[in-house]
Amino acid sequence: MAQALRADQQADTAPEQPRTGREPVDKFQDGPVQVSIFQNPSAKGDFRTAKLEVRYKDKDGEFQTSHSYTASVLKHIASASISAAEKISKWEEENKSKTQAQVR
């Protein structure tokens, strides 16, 4: 099951990520899969996206991002994807309700 990370927590398998100017609105981890949810502005209104990463240390101790996965990791990716979709869908539903209430 997915575990939520506090804003001050880092997954013990992940290095400090470079700052992109945007902070995620939510972060959680499912096994080795790290998920960050970002809110993005657009002309049609804000929307959210999820970034999934599996990080590991190579033989030289440098962090890398994996692009091929074992069956076990794929199960975590599937679970993390479902959790991210649920979180984004819940936010969209709440946001839609607020927007509709403001229009009335």
pLDDT at 96: 85
Query: C-alpha distances in angstroms, 30 versus 2, 53, 96?
Result: 4, 10, 28
Give per-10-residue mean pLDDT for the chain (104 aa): 44 49 92 97 94 96 96 98 98 81 53
Rounded to 5, what percent of the chain is helix, strand, coil?
30, 30, 40
Segments of the chain assigned E as strands: 3-4, 26-30, 33-40, 47-57, 63-65
